[in-house]
Amino acid sequence: MPFTPNLPSMTFAARILLCCILIFTPKASFCTPASNTEDFVAGKLTMAEYVHSTPLSKHELKKQKKEERILHRVENLMFRLEKAIHAKMQKSSINGISDPVDRWLWIWGISWGIGILITIIAGGAVAATGIGIIWLLAFSVGAVSLILWLIKKFG
């Protein structure tokens, strides 16, 4: 039985997840199983073998039309989502964050800010707890991004 998502009852996060799956899943996975035509003589294997030998019943036709409507809705949703993402990307963002060089400066500032907040909140217990890993990671990412920004900006 094929998967037919019920779009009206899905949560927003589930819709976004479904859209991401549809975008990033290779199109080949949606195709019908391919036959290895190298092992067959030309003309021996035809597409007529895949066609239903009996006409579809009223229930199957109804189900097929419903799946096509759902597919059409999902395609429209994907088109609107793509258009919205494109419009967001075209807008000028926070001062310099869209610039690939200045983005490293922003990463440095944000990650060191997180590290400083963890230091203030956790106090001396940073090194002794699991939050110490996050603290170390924040300062490490910040240091690397600062070095990358300095190299790209002045190198």
Q: Which long-range contacts (CB under 8 A, 24 or more apart) does 63-72 make?
A: 66/4, 67/2, 67/4, 70/4, 70/5, 70/7
Best CA proximity match to 15, nearest among 64, 69, 76: 76
| pLDDT for residue 27 | 55
pLDDT the model gives residue 2: 55
Interval 55-89: pLDDT, tens: 878 998 899 899 999 999 999 999 999 988 887 77
The candidate with the shortest Cα–Cα distance to 57, out of 47, 49, 65, is 65
Percentage of the chain exceeding pLDDT 90 = 13
CB 78 within 8 A of CB 19: yes
**Tens digit of each residue's pLDDT (9 = 90 or more) over 91-142:** 655 555 666 777 888 888 999 898 888 888 877 666 667 777 888 888 899 9
Instruction: Sketch the domain layout of the chain as residue ranges.
Output: 7-90, 100-154
Instruction: List pLDDT tens digits, range 18-30.
Output: 766 767 665 555 5
Closest CA to 77 of 2, 20, 9: 20
User: Residue 87's pLDDT is what?
Assistant: 79
| pTM of the predicted structure, to 2 decimals | 0.37
What is the pLDDT, as a whole number, of residue 77?
A: 92
